[in-house]
A = this chain, B = another copy of it.
């Protein structure tokens, strides 16, 4: 496949770090397509243009390679989704930014041609105890706690109702993300993005409402995200907008 990414040129000193970065970059792309367990040293070496053994020397074993790839996936996620959102005002704006960045991150075909490595790793590893599973589990728990915290801040700020169950809010949010990933990739549903945006809109309204989502917003009930007539508007409007 794509040979000569490193080529035959020799590297030394700081060049080793560069090589490692190139390897991980390619590894992340392959893991996105084949899964973290489907990532193979031979295939990776071929894709990166070096020998198996030369590549292997950069990591002390396959576990280490996989762990490095997962760590890179987490870093990418934090950089693309979480960090930018923390530059937004506390509360609902920050939460909306997170959701917006999240969808856009999942849409980034150039970096994740085969979908999120962390989501697929979750399913591959959920029955395989070990370092990898622990890592992914911790990463996901941290993420969910981030959503929860953002929701709680939105309550503090008065954006959300004060009896909001932040845990359930985070749970629903993450479920919708999984749904988006699944409907888009496996089911190839062209409406997937519209659906996830409308779902986000729905739980945001629900969280905002003191009594009734539709009324609080001055909207009619049929616009609360579950009606057919709201489709046109919803698909045009961005979640984070």
Judge whether A227 is part of the interface by a CB distance below 8 angstroms.
Answer: yes
Contact A168 B198 (CB under 8 A): yes
Contact B179 A226 (CB under 8 A): no
Of A57-65, A66-74, A120-128, the segment with at least 4 beta carbons within 8 Å of chain B is A120-128
Judge whether A228 is part of the interface by a CB distance below 8 angstroms.
Answer: yes
- In the complex, chain A residues 104-130 whose Cβ is within 8 Å of any chain B Cβ: 113-115, 119-120, 122-127
Contact A115 B119 (CB under 8 A): no
Contact of A163 among B37, B211, B227 (CB under 8 A): B227
Judge whether A20 is part of the interface by a CB distance below 8 angstroms.
Answer: no
Contact B120 A123 (CB under 8 A): yes
CA distance A226 to B164 in the complex (A): 6
Q: Which residues of B contact A34 (CB under 8 A)?
A: 127
Q: Which residues of B contact A186 (CB under 8 A)?
A: 122-123, 125-126, 133, 136-137, 140
Contact of A221 among B210, B221, B225 (CB under 8 A): B210
Q: How far is the CB of A70 from chain B (nearest CB, A)?
A: 13
CA distance A164 to B187 in the complex (A): 22
Which one of A178, A191, A203 has the highest number of Cβ atoms from chain B below 10 Å of its Cβ? A178
Judge whether A26 is part of the interface by a CB distance below 8 angstroms.
Answer: no
Of A8-16, A41-49, A88-96, A169-177, the segment with at least 4 beta carbons within 8 Å of chain B is A169-177
Q: A174-B179, A209-B221 are in contact. List 4 more A-B contacts (CB 8 A).
A: A34-B127, A123-B182, A168-B225, A175-B178
Contact A226 B171 (CB under 8 A): no
How extensive is the interface on chain A, given as a class?
Answer: 35 or more
Which one of A38, A179, A229 has the highest number of Cβ atoms from chain B below 10 Å of its Cβ? A179
Contact of A171 among B199, B206, B221, B229 (CB under 8 A): B199
Which one of A144, A161, A213 has the highest number of Cβ atoms from chain B below 10 Å of its Cβ? A213
Contact B185 A126 (CB under 8 A): yes
Q: How far is the CB of A180 from chain B (nearest CB, A)?
A: 8
Which 9 interchain pairs have the tightest Cβ spacing? A175-B179, A212-B212, A126-B185, A211-B221, A178-B178, A126-B186, A122-B186, A114-B127, A163-B227
Contact B123 A169 (CB under 8 A): no
Pull 8 A–B residue pairs with CB atoms less than 8 Å apart, ordered by A. Answer: A120-B124, A127-B185, A137-B186, A165-B226, A172-B179, A176-B179, A209-B221, A211-B212
